[in-house]
Structure 1
Amino acid sequence: MHKPLLTTDFLDRARRHYADEEAVLAVDGTRYTYAELGERADRFSAALQARGIEKGDRVAVLDPNTHYHLEAAYGAMQVGAVHTPLNYRLTPDDFSYMLSDAGVDAIYADAEYAANVEAIRDEVPTETFLTNDADAVEGDWESFDAALDDADPDAYERPEMDEDEVITINYTSGTTGDPKGVCRTHRAETLHAYLISIHQEITDDDVYLWTLPMFHVNGWGHIYAITGAGARHVCTRGVDVAETFDRIRGEDISYFCAAPTVLNMLGDHHAEHGGATTGDNDVRVATAGAAPPEATIRTVEEEFGWELKHVYGATETGPLITTSDAKRHFDEGADDRFAVKKTQGIGYLGTEVRVVDEDGEDVAADGETIGEIVVRGNQVMDRYWNKPEATEEAFSERLEGYYHMGDLAVVDEDGFVSIQDRKKDIIISGGENISSIELEDTLFEHDVVSDVAVIPAPDERWGETPKAFVVPESGDPDDAGATPEELKAFVRDRVADYKTPGEVEFVAELPTTATGKIQKYELREREWDEEDRMVGEG
């Protein structure tokens, strides 16, 4: 038998079996059952169709982790529209590009961030603008709640959908050029949600805390998996460490996701303030973005009493494709588990993860020979939106038919993958991707900059942060014509704040090859000399 795998199935199942159970704790304290969440999604579906939204149209969501994001996502998908979540930390220019590139027809934006869309609304094809607080936003914005009140939840018509149709577009920060829209089908989203349900051990009695942004590949698939299981969503508006501990204790949180940076912030807060680290439930936490240092794992597991699950992936791959949660490979409670948990681990079920050389051949499984990670799996993206050449390259550069992760790694005799460096110059700061190319292009606009290279540098708080090596026009690092702070301010005025280099160093020259290509590896090697690896693992 073949039954289409559709993202709408997750909310349908929760409504059918958990209608009267709590589904969502909103940030304002309102609690919604699955019946209520489902009705609000239905009303949004009807509101979208009343505004001319049809199957295949793109509906963007610009929202921190609130119940509105869940309602807008499911409401859009129920009419076959393509859910297009946006990173709320970006700039108006970023939004102008993404809304235009995807041809977004409607957008829901949280009132705190709607001004960044209002600033460019005349530049984009979007015609429907909704927000949670229309009075707080300048311009012609509709109230989300008023639109729901006016809509008949029984009025919308759910179109016939196929599992191979694109249902989400997730924009990812590339290492070169403009961001790319990652197209994901119903089938890919569904199977990824199944996989995390298994590997993250998600069940209906879980209480999930939303510290991970929902816009990150649909919250690593948790908008589906938690909903489909009939578990509880506890919403937040971002990470506040004191609030996180309060929620864990007060709502009996059993599971959440956090980058190593967030785990370190929690550790620092607890060291200063103390207090209980759990409620009535045991806690497990998934981390990704960069491998957690051993000290972080010790804090999480030995001081907090939580179980840490280290996972790995990319926007293009679902995102998650590996896990180091392989208990038969270490003794629970013994120190040897840290060496395993720091690795990216082994492939998820149904996921083929390989490390290959430049000829596409598997490297020796000796834990020393470096190659690039490539992957095949049902959770991998369909394509990049309107970028066929980039799609072809991503699936064929070394080995035909595999998505190329761009990470250089080794693999041991048991198949555990450990990243050693990055093939491309992406910087992962606090779980956010930052393009070194974007920062270099921005710095080149300053009159005093003759040449520049941006690399990831270790940072205690963020894991890694951008550092710029600048050759001044004067040629004299001691008389550059501007200060490092002036250059940082110059960049900050032109890109999202979190992308600003943490340090600018003036140098007389940059290391180059015989053909003049800058050897960033030498700069990274110098900056990470005291670290275990050069991938922001701190």
Structure 2
Amino acid sequence: MHRPMTTLDFLDRGVDVYGDAVGVIAHDGTEYTYAEFGERVDRAAAALAHLGIEAGDRVALLSPNTHWFLETLYAINVLGAISVPLNYRLIAEDYEYILDDCGAQAVVADYEYAEKIEAVRDQVPATTFVANPADRVDGDWRDYESLLAAADPDEAERPDISEDDPATINYTSGTTGEPKGVVRTHRTEHWHALITAHHTEVTDDDAYLWTLPMFHVNGWGYPYVVTGVGGTHVCQRHFDAAGAFERIQAHDVTYLCGAPTVLNSMVDHYQDHDVPATGDKPVRIATAASPPPEATIRTVEDELGWNILHVYGLTETGPLITTSNSPRRIESEGRLAIKTRQGHAMLGTELRVVDEDGDDVPPDDETMGEIIVRGNQVMDRYWNKPERTREAFTDRVDGWFHTGDFATIDERGMISIKDRKKDVIISGGENISSVEVEDALYNHPDIERVAVIGVPHEKWGETPKAIVVPAAGADLSEDGVIEFARDNLAHFKCPTVVEFVEDLPETSTGKIRKVELRESHADPAG
């Protein structure tokens, strides 16, 4: 039989099977059972319906990691409407573009960020504005909790929802142009949650700490995964290492996600403050963004005692399409050789690495090509951008999504990302992976963070430049860093220029903004 796959399946299972269990713990420690959470979702849905929200309407959601983000995300889909989670690190003009592009009918915002919407509300199509709480926001905003208190949860009527209906529109960062709205259907969200639950082994015994921004690709699908299996959501408005360790102890957290920058922050706090790293249960952490350096893996697993899962994906792909969680290969080849890789394709996912002609590169773990992918978790389209959609699915191979990431692949299908297409350094005709150079430099004990980019060179066209954040108290020199690189890499891959900085520009999810670095360091001496 055929039954539509919708995001609400996960909510319904959480409420029906685990109604008396604690499902959500708010930032302030308030606990909600799944039955209470489900009622609040229905109240939010009824309140939005009373404000005129109908199936197909776009509702923008601007909030840090709060329990009411989770409620509102589900409430929007209860009505058959489309959620538009917003990156809270954007500026007012960015919100103006996004709200206009998606044609948002309503905005639901946390008090901390509502002023950015208030600054452009006369320029956007939305006519309904809800804040939590409204009394902490200037302007004419409805109060979230007051709306829920006045709503009748029994009036939350669900329309017929097709699995092919859009569930959410997630906007890309726009670092290479204007942001694109990634349309994800109920089917893509549902399928992604199923395979993520399997590969990350989330169960009803897990307490999941929200360090990953909930807005980012819908929190990698964990609003659905954790709810559907009956785990516990532990909310932390904004990530900070001290608060994370406190919650790990207080709520016996077993699972969290974080970019390598989050890992480094947790390690630094642990080493500086000698706090317990776990509660009564073991902890595992999934990391993505750039590959974690071997030194980071050793520290996290050997000192903190956590298990690292390395995953990979993009906003357009769910995000997750690969995992390095392969006990057999870890046992035979070693954890560092496997966990620094992005891994094998997830269940039901086809993945290839192809050259410029669309032919598969040799599975020799050396030849680089672009990752292309097919799977039920891949996006439906870009909102209002048919030409960009066509390009994404036809560039090298028709019918496959082109990620723009360059990788190698081995004989058993495990990939290792070497760079974004635009980040590959071409020096004297040789392709140099900036990630490979960074990974080598991270083994230097006095380097806290590093980014490697290509800068102009009269002879070679481009040459690698290392932009280094020294560790506290370190005494580094340019010659010393270059010499260290030459001891660990082929000489043509080594940086010829080194600059020391206090920090590196990042996205909200911990990725280094190399576009900004290339612009500001266009001169090799800049």
**Shorter-normalised TM range:** 0.7 to 0.9
Determine whether 1:363 maps to 2:361.
yes
Structure 2 match to 1:437: none
Matches of 2:130 and 2:394 in 1, distance apart?
41
Offset of 1:177 from its aligned partner?
Answer: 2.2
Determine whether 1:126 maps to 2:126.
yes
Matches of 1:408 and 1:216 in 2, distance apart?
22
Structure-to-structure mapping, 1:70-81, within 5 angstroms: 70-81=70-81
Opposite residue 28 of structure 1, the aligned amino acid is D
SS in 2 for 1:355: strand
Structure 1 match to 2:322: 322
Tell me how many residue pairs correspond in the alignment: 455
Matches of 1:499 and 1:54 in 2, distance apart?
38
Structure 2 match to 1:256: 256
Structure 1 match to 2:296: 296
Structure-to-structure mapping, 1:60-79, within 5 angstroms: 60-79=60-79
Matches of 2:211 and 2:359 in 1, distance apart?
39
Opposite residue 341 of structure 2, the aligned amino acid is T
Offset of 1:174 from its aligned partner?
Answer: 3.4
Offset of 1:135 from its aligned partner?
Answer: 1.1
Q: Is the 8 A contact 1:175 1:425 kept in 2?
A: no
Structure-to-structure mapping, 1:63-102, within 5 angstroms: 63-102=63-102
Distance 1:376 1:500, change over 3 A: closer
Structure 2 match to 1:310: 310
Determine whether 1:416 maps to 2:388.
no
SS in 2 for 1:73: helix
Structure 1 match to 2:458: none
Matches of 1:295 and 1:236 in 2, distance apart?
27
Structure 2 match to 1:389: 387
Determine whether 1:346 maps to 2:365.
no
Q: Let me know the Cα RMSD of the aligned residues.
A: 2.7
Offset of 1:184 from its aligned partner?
Answer: 0.3
Offset of 1:340 from its aligned partner?
Answer: 0.8
Q: Is the 8 A contact 1:425 1:455 kept in 2?
A: no
Q: Is the 8 A contact 2:55 2:81 kept in 1?
A: yes
Offset of 1:56 from its aligned partner?
Answer: 0.3
Matches of 1:373 and 1:459 in 2, distance apart?
30
SS in 1 for 2:394: coil
Offset of 1:415 from its aligned partner?
Answer: 1.4
Opposite residue 174 of structure 1, the aligned amino acid is G
Structure 2 match to 1:194: 194
**TM-score, with normalisation over the residues of structure 1?**
0.80
SS in 1 for 2:310: strand
Opposite residue 112 of structure 1, the aligned amino acid is E
Distance 1:502 1:372, change over 3 A: closer
Determine whether 1:229 maps to 2:229.
yes
Structure-to-structure mapping, 1:368-517, within 5 angstroms: 368-424=366-422, 457=467, 459=469
Distance 1:423 1:391, change over 3 A: same
Q: Is the 8 A contact 2:64 2:213 kept in 1?
A: yes
SS in 2 for 1:74: helix
Matches of 1:226 and 1:193 in 2, distance apart?
9
Opposite residue 51 of structure 1, the aligned amino acid is L
Offset of 1:276 from its aligned partner?
Answer: 1.3
Distance 1:169 1:268, change over 3 A: same
Opposite residue 404 of structure 1, the aligned amino acid is H
Post-superposition CA distance 1:69-100 (Å, at most 9, x none): 01110111000000110000100000000011
Distance 1:499 1:413, change over 3 A: closer
Q: Is the 8 A contact 2:175 2:515 kept in 1?
A: no
Q: Is the 8 A contact 2:7 2:186 kept in 1?
A: yes
Structure 2 match to 1:533: none
Unaligned runs of 5+ in 2: 425-433, 436-463, 472-498, 507-511
Post-superposition CA distance 1:121-164 (Å, at most 9, x none): 00000111111111110000010000011111111211000001
Offset of 1:407 from its aligned partner?
Answer: 0.7
Structure 1 match to 2:58: 58
Determine whether 1:21 maps to 2:24.
no
Matches of 2:305 and 2:179 in 1, distance apart?
39
Q: Is the 8 A contact 1:282 1:306 kept in 2?
A: yes
Structure 2 match to 1:116: 116
Offset of 1:101 from its aligned partner?
Answer: 0.4
SS in 1 for 2:191: helix
Matches of 1:15 and 1:459 in 2, distance apart?
47
Offset of 1:40 from its aligned partner?
Answer: 0.7
SS in 2 for 1:215: coil
SS in 1 for 2:377: coil
Structure 1 match to 2:4: 4
Matches of 2:320 and 2:218 in 1, distance apart?
12
Structure 1 match to 2:144: 144
Distance 1:39 1:456, change over 3 A: farther
Matches of 1:89 and 1:264 in 2, distance apart?
21
Matches of 1:193 and 1:239 in 2, distance apart?
23
Post-superposition CA distance 1:204-248 (Å, at most 9, x none): 111000000000111000010001111100000111101111111
Distance 1:201 1:186, change over 3 A: same
Structure 1 match to 2:272: 272
Offset of 1:320 from its aligned partner?
Answer: 0.4
Distance 1:127 1:457, change over 3 A: farther
Opposite residue 256 of structure 1, the aligned amino acid is L
Please, which moves more after superposition, 173-182 or 284-293?
A: 173-182
Structure 2 match to 1:442: none
Opposite residue 39 of structure 2, the aligned amino acid is E
Structure 2 match to 1:43: 43
Offset of 1:176 from its aligned partner?
Answer: 2.9
Unaligned runs of 5+ in 1: 429-453, 462-483, 493-497, 511-522, 528-538
Structure 1 match to 2:172: 172
Structure 2 match to 1:286: 286
Q: Is the 8 A contact 1:300 1:306 kept in 2?
A: yes
**TM-score, with normalisation over the residues of structure 2?**
0.82
Matches of 2:406 and 2:516 in 1, distance apart?
25
